Structure 1
Amino acid sequence: MTIHTPGNRRTRLLAGVTGVALLLGACGGGSTTGDGKDAAEGYDPSARVTITWWTGQTTDAEVQAEQLAAEYSKAHPNVTIKTSAGASTTDDLLTKLSAGFTGGSYPDISYAYGSWAGELATSGKTQDLAKFVADPSFGWQEIPEAARNTATYEGKVIGVPALVDNLALIYNKKLFDDAGVAYPTDQWSWEDYRAAAKKLTNPARNVYGSAYSVSGSEDTTWHLWPMLWQRGGKILDGKKPAFNSDAGVSALELLRAMAVDDKSMYLDQTDEKYLPLFKDGHIGMVMSGPWALLDLKEAGLDYSVAQLPGYNGDHQTVSGPDLWVLFDHGDANRAGASRDFIKWLTSKEVDAKWNLAIGNLPLRSSEQGTPEFAAYVKEYPGGQKFFDNLANAKQGRPTLAGYEEMSRNVGDAISKVLQGAAKPKEALDEAAKKSAGALE
C-alpha cells in the first residue's frame, strides 16, 4: 500500500516520541502476549469475524487497500475487513496506536515503520507469530534477513514485512558528463566518492556533488549506519551504545570533511529538498532508495544506480523495512483471520501484483521470476540494482525499545558535525551518553 514520495519516506516521528515510548512501555509489561499463549489458539477458519486494518496511507492508497480487502473477503466471505488510514499521516500512527492501547481501540493489523518495532513489541499488545511464520508454507526465508530481523524482538515475531528496501548511490549521468568525471562503479571506495563529489561541485551553477539530511531525523541517522558497519563498527554492544567507536568517528569524519572542508555536500534541513534538487540537476549523487525511482522516471532524468561506496571492499547497505504488525485482542478468530489475511497479502502472487506495480521492491526472492518483476525492472531503471543490493543488507537496525530516542540523539550529533558546530568524537560521545538510559 505504500506509495513512497521523496521527502517523507524516511522522515520519522520526531515530536513527542519520548512520551509515546514511555506510554507504550507502560501499557503491557514488556512482553508480546501477557500470558505467553498463542493468540490464535483455537482459531476456527470458518467463523464469521470482522478485523480492522490500519494502512497508514494516503487517500489514493486507501482505495487500493479497500480493493485488496474486498478481493480477500470475496474468497473468504466469512471475513469482513474494515480498512482505514488509522491516522492523518503515517508518522502519526505510533501516537494513535499508543492511545488505542490505553483505550482498547487498537486495530488487528497496522502499518508501522520498522524503527518502531521495539516500542510496539514492549506494549504487550502484539501477537507472537514465530511459530506461524516458521511453517514452510509461509516462505519466511524468502524475505530478506534484515527485514525478518526487524520484525523480531527477543525471539518473538510481531509482524510481517510490508516492504523491503535499501540505500544505494543514485547519480545524474549528465552532471558527471559535464564535469568530465567517470561514473560510479560498484567497486567505488569512500575516497572515490569524496573525490568525485568535489569535482562535481560547481558553486557558480549552484551544483553540489552530494547531499545529506541534517534534520536530525531517522533520515539523518540511518545514512551513517552503512558506513559504521563497513568500517567494522556496531550500533550497540548488547544494549549499550557502541556507535561512538573509532569506526563511527571515522565514518562521521569523512562526512564532515565533505560538508565542511570540501563544501561538496548540500545540507538539507528538512529531508524534503535533496531529492527534488537531485531531480532538477543541482546534486550529482544521492544515497537513496527505490522509492525515489518513481519521481525520477516521471522527471525523465538520465540517471543510474550503483552500490554504496565501500570501505576495504565492504559495500554493506542498510535496509529500512516497514511492517504489518498484528495485535492480540484476546479473540482467537480475529487473531487467526489477521494472520491468514497477511499471509495472503504478502504471498508471492499477491505481492507481485500490487507492491511491484507501485514501484516497491518485491518482498520475496521468489518474485524475481514473475512477469510483474520483469515489468518492474523495465519500467524503473535501477530497480534490478536495488533488488540485487538487498544481498548487501547484512545487518539491521536494532529492534528494541529506545531506538527512536537513540536515533534522535545520533541524528542531532551528525547534524551538528556536518554544520561545523561540533567534532565527530565529542558529538557521538554525547549522543551515546544521552541514549544509554533509554536503552536499558
Structure 2
Amino acid sequence: MTVHTRAIRRTRLLAGAAGVALLLGACSSGGSKADDTKDAADGYDPAAQVTITWWTGQTTEAEATAEQLAAEYTKAHPNVTIKTSTGASTTDDLLTKLSAGFTGGSYPDISYAYGSWAGELATSGKTQNLAKYVADPSFGWQEIPEAARSTATYDGKVIGVPALVDNLALIYNPKLFDDAKIPYPTDQWSWDDYRAAAKKLTNTAQNQYGSAYSVSGSEDTTWHLWPMLWQRGGKILEGKKPAFNSDAGVAALELLRAMAVDDKSMYLDQTDEKYVPLFADGHIGMIMSGPWTLLDLKEAGLEYGVTQLPGHNGDHQTVSGPDLWVLFDHADANRAGASRDFIKWLTSKETDAKWNLAIGNLPLRSSEQGTPEFASYVKEYPGGQKFFDNLANAKQARPTLAGYEEMSRNVGDAIAKVLQGAAKPKEALDDAAKKSVGVLEDS
C-alpha cells in the first residue's frame, strides 16, 4: 500500500530542528514582545491592491485544492492577488526555508507550520500578533478546540490560526480479536486491559504483535507518551523546568517497557513508517494513531474499529498535534490585513468544509458537525466521528516554547532506549530532563 504524506506527517517533525532553532534565534529581532506595541494591520485598507504569498505545505492533491480556494477568494476580492505554492519540496523542509527567508527577507505572508514549530517561529520576531483579531466574536475563535488555540499562542501572542486538528485514539483490527477470541476494546478500557489484550494478540512465530510503538526518537515517539503522563496526573513542564521525569512519567514509561521488553507484545518501529502499513496488512492488533491513518486504511480495504485511548482511573485524555497557518509581518498594513482576511475566510465553517473535510482531515470548528460535508466525511471514513468526539479528551496541549523540539528529541531518545531494553525508565527520563534544562531556560 502507498502511505500518504498526511499519514506520516507526524513522524519527521524534528529533522534538523536544533540547527534551525539556532538560525531562527539568530534572525530574531527582539522576540515576540517587541511586536506587541503596534498592530501589523493598523491602517489596513480592504480596497487596496495587494499581493500576498501563501506557502501551503501540502501534497500535490491538496495543493490543487488550495489553488482552487485561492482563486475562489480572489474572484470575490479582485484587488487581492494570492501567490500560492507548497513553499518547499516537503512540509518538513518548510521550517528551514522560513529560516532562510527571514535572513534574506523573502519569507511569505502565510505559511503552514507544524504545531511543534510554534515556539521557534514565535520568537523569530517575524510573526504577526492576532490576539485582538481572533478575539472579535465574528471570528468564532472559541469554536476551534482549546488545544489547537493554545498551540497558536505564545506568551499571550497569537501567531496564527489552526490549520488542522487531530488527536490520538486506539485503532484496532476486529479480525485479530475474533481470531484470539477476546472482546473488542471499549472506551472504558484501562491500560491493564490494553496490555493484557496485546499479550494475547501476539504470536511472534507468525510475526504478529498486539501493539506497536515508534523508537525512532522523533516527535512520534515522544507525543505518544504525553497522554499517559497526563492521565496519571503528571506534567511535561513546571514553568520552564522539565517535569516529565516525575513518578507519573516513570510509571507511564514502565508500562510501555513491560509490554515491549517483558511481554514482547509491542512491535518496535525504528523508522516511524512501518507500523501503520503492518497494521493495515494484519500483522498488528492495535495502534495508537490519528485520523490521518484512516486514509491509508480505506485504501488498504481493512475493516477496523476506533475507541478512545486506554485510561488510568477513568481518565482518557489524549494529545492533539494541531498544525497552524502562521501569519508574518512585512511592515505593510495591507499585506497583513489581507492575509488575516483570507485566513479568516479559509478557516470559516463554510470554507473549511471544502478544505479539511475534502482532503480527509477533521473539521477545525465544532459548528461543522452539522454540515453535509461532515456527514459525507464520517460515511467515507468509519471512525471519523469517534476522532471528532475524542477532541473533547484533548484537554492539554504540548508546550509552545522555543526549546520544545530539542526537549522532545531528548525524551524520544530516552523512550527508545527503554523500550529496547537499554535503560531503565527513571534513569532515562532523568537524563533527558538534565539535557533539556539549559535548552528550556534559554527559550
TM interval, shorter chain, is over 0.9
**1:118 to 2:111 alignment:** no
Aligned counterparts of 2:142 and 2:53: Cα–Cα separation in 1: 27
Q: Is the 8 A contact 2:220 2:272 kept in 1?
A: yes
Matching residue of 2:383: 382
Query: CA offsets per residue over residues 52-104 of structure 1, 9 Å max, x none?
Result: 00011222222221111111000000000001111111111111101110110
Aligned counterparts of 1:149 and 1:236: Cα–Cα separation in 2: 15
Which AA in structure 2 matches 1:152? T
Fraction of identical pairs, as percent: 89
Matching residue of 2:11: 11
Which AA in structure 1 matches 2:220? D
Following superposition, the deviation at residue 6 of structure 1 comes to: 6.2
Q: 1:399 to 1:4 in 2, by over 3 A?
A: farther
Matching residue of 1:25: 25
Unaligned runs of 5+ in 1: none
Aligned counterparts of 1:6 and 1:281: Cα–Cα separation in 2: 21
Q: Is the 8 A contact 2:310 2:316 kept in 1?
A: yes
CA RMSD in angstroms comes to 1.1
Q: 1:128 to 1:27 in 2, by over 3 A?
A: same
Q: Is the 8 A contact 1:209 1:283 kept in 2?
A: yes
Q: Is the 8 A contact 2:13 2:114 kept in 1?
A: no
Aligned counterparts of 2:327 and 2:313: Cα–Cα separation in 1: 41
Q: Is the 8 A contact 1:32 1:127 kept in 2?
A: no
1:41-80 → structure 2 map (5 Å cutoff): 41-80=42-81
Aligned counterparts of 2:271 and 2:223: Cα–Cα separation in 1: 15
Q: Is the 8 A contact 1:6 1:276 kept in 2?
A: no
Q: Is the 8 A contact 1:244 1:425 kept in 2?
A: yes
**1:432 to 2:402 alignment:** no
Query: CA offsets per residue over residues 6-62 of structure 1, 9 Å max, x none?
Result: 652212333421121122122222216546210000000000000000011222222
Query: CA offsets per residue over residues 119-139 of structure 1, 9 Å max, x none?
Result: 000000000000000000000
Q: Is the 8 A contact 2:36 2:129 kept in 1?
A: no
Aligned counterparts of 1:16 and 1:228: Cα–Cα separation in 2: 27
**1:149 to 2:150 alignment:** yes
Q: Is the 8 A contact 1:33 1:127 kept in 2?
A: no
1:279-358 → structure 2 map (5 Å cutoff): 279-358=280-359
Q: Secondary structure at the match of 1:61?
A: helix
Query: CA offsets per residue over residues 273-327 of structure 1, 9 Å max, x none?
Result: 0000000000000000000111111211110100000000000000000000000
1:151-300 → structure 2 map (5 Å cutoff): 151-300=152-301
Which ranges of 4 or more aligned residues in structure 1 deviate by more than 4 Å? none
Which AA in structure 1 matches 2:24? L
Q: Secondary structure at the match of 1:254?
A: helix
Q: Secondary structure at the match of 2:434?
A: helix
Aligned counterparts of 1:67 and 1:73: Cα–Cα separation in 2: 10
Following superposition, the deviation at residue 159 of structure 1 comes to: 0.3
Q: Is the 8 A contact 2:32 2:157 kept in 1?
A: no
Q: Secondary structure at the match of 1:340?
A: helix
Aligned counterparts of 1:150 and 1:197: Cα–Cα separation in 2: 33
Aligned counterparts of 1:35 and 1:191: Cα–Cα separation in 2: 49
Aligned counterparts of 2:162 and 2:65: Cα–Cα separation in 1: 18
Which AA in structure 2 matches 1:320? G
Which AA in structure 1 matches 2:394? A
Aligned counterparts of 2:98 and 2:412: Cα–Cα separation in 1: 25
Normalised TM-score (structure 2): 0.97
Normalised TM-score (structure 1): 0.98
Matching residue of 2:128: 127
Aligned counterparts of 1:312 and 1:320: Cα–Cα separation in 2: 24
Q: How many residues align?
A: 438
Unaligned runs of 5+ in 2: none
Q: Secondary structure at the match of 1:211?
A: strand
Q: Secondary structure at the match of 1:407?
A: helix
